[in-house]
Chain A
Amino acid sequence: MTIEARFQLQKAQFNLDVDLSIPKRGITAIFGPSGCGKTTLLRAIAGLEHSPRGYLKIGEEIWQDGDIFLPTHQRPLGYVFQEASLFDHLSVRSNVEYGLKRIPMDERQVSLDQAIELLGISQLMDRRPDQLSGGEKQRVSIARAIAVSPKILLMDEPLSALDYQRKREIMPYLESLQQQLEIPILYVSHSPDEVARLAQQMVLLDAGKVQAVGPMTELLTRLDLPLAHYDKAGALVEATVAGHDDDFELTHLDFPGGRFSIGRQQLTVGQSVRIRVTARDVSLTLEHQQGTSILNVFPVTIDEIIPGDKTRVTVRLNAGGVPLLSRVTRKSVTALDLKPGKQIFAQVKTVALLS
């Protein structure tokens, strides 16, 4: 099952011109700088923008083709806007029930209770929107969107209007949403951290055009794309919990390129986890160092070296088929004679566990 979308739309700042095919599953991030057309693309999928010669097919259903243009209210989608946009004249309960009431009984896959429970808003149901915090409002608006049992959930930077604390408050809800409801999600964002944590696939947009489409793990480390070059660039690694070290309170995570040992986590053996290895935390060495305090050292092959700024370069490494990024100085490249194809060792100082 795929989502196929072709749109051409003229806007003041850019011309949206996309031709996309993405798997209809998991969380797909639509990522790019501000004003690159992410929101316009999402609105075109929702039918809120009309691209005259557009084409849109969601799984088996055609939503737009030639003269066919399903109006928004006939598209089985959920939409979460950047601002919560709750109806001020209705209570929280009536807000959440607004869409649900308009769905025929036999199309209701998500119950009201399920929506309320998934977003943790049972305490808020009898309040009015102006009595909620920003984070609470956005949780209510997400519950309202999933209560219509959408076949696809469109989210337009749902966290961007929130501060760091509120973001951390909502993230877990978004993760469990995807795991429990099996609704494909298109997630617009300009935050690499958000995207790395949540998404499996990514559509990279720039100035209205698609730069790349593919799995997160691949696009994050492709040196021809801007993601590998921003300050906190890094690789995403899928690993399995291999076991715990009771003496030193460590947890071992295996991936095709070797084993990470990190501070002990509440994880069960065999569980899949995603970890993020930031490029600046990866240093390179020609031999497997013996006298080092760093636990995580892997044999790697150099794929590609791309100059960053005047001092630093970004190196893409292959660790048993898994791409890693390392940021080192230009001086080190010369000193160690680093070049593509060379076999060396990567030392990883810290990793971040994402889920």
Chain B
Amino acid sequence: MSLTDADLAAVLLTLKLAALSTFILLLIGTPLAWWLSRSRWRFKFLLEGVIALPLVLPPTVLGFYLLIALGPNGPIGGLTQWLGGDSLAFTFTGLVIGSVFYSMPFVVQPLQHAFTAVGRRPMEVAATLRASPMDRFLTVAIPLARSGFLTATVLGFAHTVGEFGVVLMIGGNIPGETQVLSIAIYEHVEALEYGRAHWLSGGLLLLSFVMLLAVYGLNRRYTGIQP
């Protein structure tokens, strides 16, 4: 017994969702984490709190509010409709937006810690060596924070692969469009198809473990280079 077409579609959809979300999160999260690590703004903690919310909030709560925001009467859904599109509830785009919020702390926090650990000195040194702010960010801050990037990428990806509550709330269960792996597993269990649930669950377990091994293994090598 192997994967059915529907299961395969769920696997591919999940990987696509996780890859896209992680990519967007790195794009948004890098400048955001950099700013958080450098800013002395007194209300910075408010933003840090908002970013950390998904860590403590039940996914269904987050999903519920996102569903309202993305729906035809919500601010985001309303905007896309006004622009001539559809509301984003129960669409793949909606899932990507939800995942970005849901996995935000898993990307921003490791990056912020890594940037803080880089400190001001290497950036000052680079400035005295004629590197412009963008130049020294790209050639000094990012390479020195590489272990943070690795952690952020893997955690962001893995966390998106594993999301369930948010997806169920805003994506529903449309095969090929919004039916991701975790929901497919839930479906199989509901239908008492334990064999197929085993295949998908075991695969997810293995994937998650391998990704975490990669993080810890590579991070140990990096720190070995820089005592």
Which residues of A come within 8 Å of B, CB atoms?
46-48, 71-74, 77-79, 81, 83, 85, 87-89, 98-99, 102-103, 128, 130, 144-145, 148
> Do residues B129 and A144 form an inter-chain contact, with CB atoms below 8 A?
yes
In the complex, which residues of chain A have a beta carbon less than 8 angstroms from the beta carbon of B131? Answer: 73, 98-99, 102
> Do residues A99 and B127 form an inter-chain contact, with CB atoms below 8 A?
no
B124, B129, B131, B144 — most chain A CB neighbours (10 Å): B129
Q: Does B227 contact A (CB under 8 A)?
A: yes
> Do residues B125 and A48 form an inter-chain contact, with CB atoms below 8 A?
no
Contact of B226 among A48, A71, A72, A88 (CB under 8 A): A88
In the complex, which residues of chain A have a beta carbon less than 8 angstroms from the beta carbon of B135? Answer: 73, 102
> Do residues B144 and A148 form an inter-chain contact, with CB atoms below 8 A?
no
**13 A–B contact pairs at CB < 8 A?**
A47-B127, A72-B128, A73-B135, A77-B128, A87-B126, A98-B129, A98-B139, A99-B129, A99-B131, A102-B129, A103-B130, A130-B226, A148-B129
Q: Does B203 contact A (CB under 8 A)?
A: no
Within 8 A of A (CB), among B134-164: 135-136, 139-140, 143-144, 146
Q: Does B122 contact A (CB under 8 A)?
A: yes
> Do residues B129 and A85 form an inter-chain contact, with CB atoms below 8 A?
no
Additional 8 contacts, C-beta under 8 A, given A71-B127, A72-B127, A73-B136: A48-B124, A72-B124, A79-B128, A88-B226, A102-B129, A102-B135, A103-B130, A145-B128
Contact A88 B121, CB 8 Å, known A73-B127, A73-B132, A99-B130: no
> Do residues B126 and A98 form an inter-chain contact, with CB atoms below 8 A?
yes
Cα-based distance from A85 to B124 in the complex (angstroms): 10
A286 to chain B: closest CB distance in Å?
57
In the complex, which residues of chain A have a beta carbon less than 8 angstroms from the beta carbon of B128? Answer: 46, 48, 72-73, 77-79, 99, 145
In the complex, which residues of chain A have a beta carbon less than 8 angstroms from the beta carbon of B1? Answer: none
> Do residues B127 and A48 form an inter-chain contact, with CB atoms below 8 A?
yes
Contact of B125 among A74, A85, A128 (CB under 8 A): A85
Cα-based distance from A228 to B1 in the complex (angstroms): 92
In the complex, which residues of chain A have a beta carbon less than 8 angstroms from the beta carbon of B27? Answer: none
Nearest neighbor of A88 in chain B, beta-carbon distance: B226
In the complex, which residues of chain A have a beta carbon less than 8 angstroms from the beta carbon of B56? Answer: none
Cα-based distance from A46 to B130 in the complex (angstroms): 12
> Do residues B225 and A88 form an inter-chain contact, with CB atoms below 8 A?
yes
Cα-based distance from A79 to B130 in the complex (angstroms): 11
In the complex, which residues of chain B have a beta carbon less than 8 angstroms from the beta carbon of A73? Answer: 126-133, 135-136
List the 4 closest A-B pairs by CB distance, nearest first. A99-B129, A79-B128, A102-B130, A72-B127
> Do residues A85 and B227 form an inter-chain contact, with CB atoms below 8 A?
no
The DSSP consensus for interface residues of chain B is helix
Cα-based distance from A145 to B129 in the complex (angstroms): 7
B127 to chain A: closest CB distance in Å?
4
Cα-based distance from A81 to B132 in the complex (angstroms): 19
A37 to chain B: closest CB distance in Å?
18
B126 to chain A: closest CB distance in Å?
7
Cα-based distance from A148 to B143 in the complex (angstroms): 22
Cα-based distance from A87 to B118 in the complex (angstroms): 10
Contact of B225 among A85, A128, A144, A148 (CB under 8 A): A128
Cα-based distance from A299 to B126 in the complex (angstroms): 55
Cα-based distance from A318 to B205 in the complex (angstroms): 87
> Do residues B125 and A81 form an inter-chain contact, with CB atoms below 8 A?
yes
Cα-based distance from A74 to B146 in the complex (angstroms): 28
Contact A87 B132, CB 8 Å, known A48-B127, A128-B225: no
Nearest neighbor of A144 in chain B, beta-carbon distance: B129
Binary per-residue interface labels of chain B (198-227) against chain A in the complex, 1 for a CB within 8 Å, 0 otherwise:
000000000000000000000000000111
Cα-based distance from A298 to B129 in the complex (angstroms): 51
Cα-based distance from A81 to B129 in the complex (angstroms): 12
B107 to chain A: closest CB distance in Å?
21
Contact of A130 among B125, B127, B227 (CB under 8 A): B227
Binary per-residue interface labels of chain B (154-187) against chain A in the complex, 1 for a CB within 8 Å, 0 otherwise:
0000000000000000000000000000000000
> Do residues A89 and B125 form an inter-chain contact, with CB atoms below 8 A?
no
Cα-based distance from A137 to B139 in the complex (angstroms): 20
Cα-based distance from A47 to B136 in the complex (angstroms): 16
Contact A87 B124, CB 8 Å, known A73-B130, A102-B129, A130-B226: no
B34 to chain A: closest CB distance in Å?
17
B38 to chain A: closest CB distance in Å?
15
> Do residues A81 and B121 form an inter-chain contact, with CB atoms below 8 A?
yes
> Do residues B122 and A85 form an inter-chain contact, with CB atoms below 8 A?
yes
> Do residues B140 and A87 form an inter-chain contact, with CB atoms below 8 A?
yes
> Do residues B129 and A88 form an inter-chain contact, with CB atoms below 8 A?
no
Contact of A89 among B127, B130, B132, B143 (CB under 8 A): B143
In the complex, which residues of chain A have a beta carbon less than 8 angstroms from the beta carbon of B121? Answer: 81, 83, 85
A56 to chain B: closest CB distance in Å?
15
In the complex, which residues of chain B have a beta carbon less than 8 angstroms from the beta carbon of A72? Answer: 124, 127-128
B101 to chain A: closest CB distance in Å?
32
